[in-house]
Amino acid sequence: MASHFRSYIWDPVLIISQIVLMQCIYYSFLGLWMAGVDSLVQINHSLDQIFSYQVLGFATIQGRLSMMAFVLNSLTCALGLWFFIRRGKQCLDFTVTVHFFHMIGCWIYNAHLPAALSWWLVNVACMALMAVIGEYLCMRTELRAIPVNTGPKSNL
């Protein structure tokens, strides 16, 4: 039986646990970023900031700060992809999955699909940012040179 370099083995438990882990990273760091930007302007914390599409907008300072928190969160989640997923080919898959479940959560919270263009623009931009940076970090790690032992050789 020949061994394959990085052969892929179907492991649904691993995939589901990675999805759950990425969702936990997404919401916990989004909450931390939201708390950080809320402390700048003394805004009360609310689930509306995460799930309500009406909050994201260019017109108010709260909307712009919420957008900033979403963008910063995509950078943090890209680090999560690099640290826990470690495969460049899977970064887009996990990024779309995280944002799909966020869209479902927003749909349930608002009782309908988000209708604001700003919500869609922010989430598509964050999805692209998270996927590209996560893939870049993973590819950099995957393409790192494999060290070859250059120790003394013995003549046999």
Range with the lowest mean pLDDT among 23-37, 48-62, 99-113, 138-152? Answer: 138-152
Q: What is the pTM (predicted TM-score) of this model?
A: 0.85
CA distance 98 to 101: 5
Give pLDDT tens digits for 130-154: 999 999 999 998 888 677 776 666 6
CA distance 104 to 102: 5
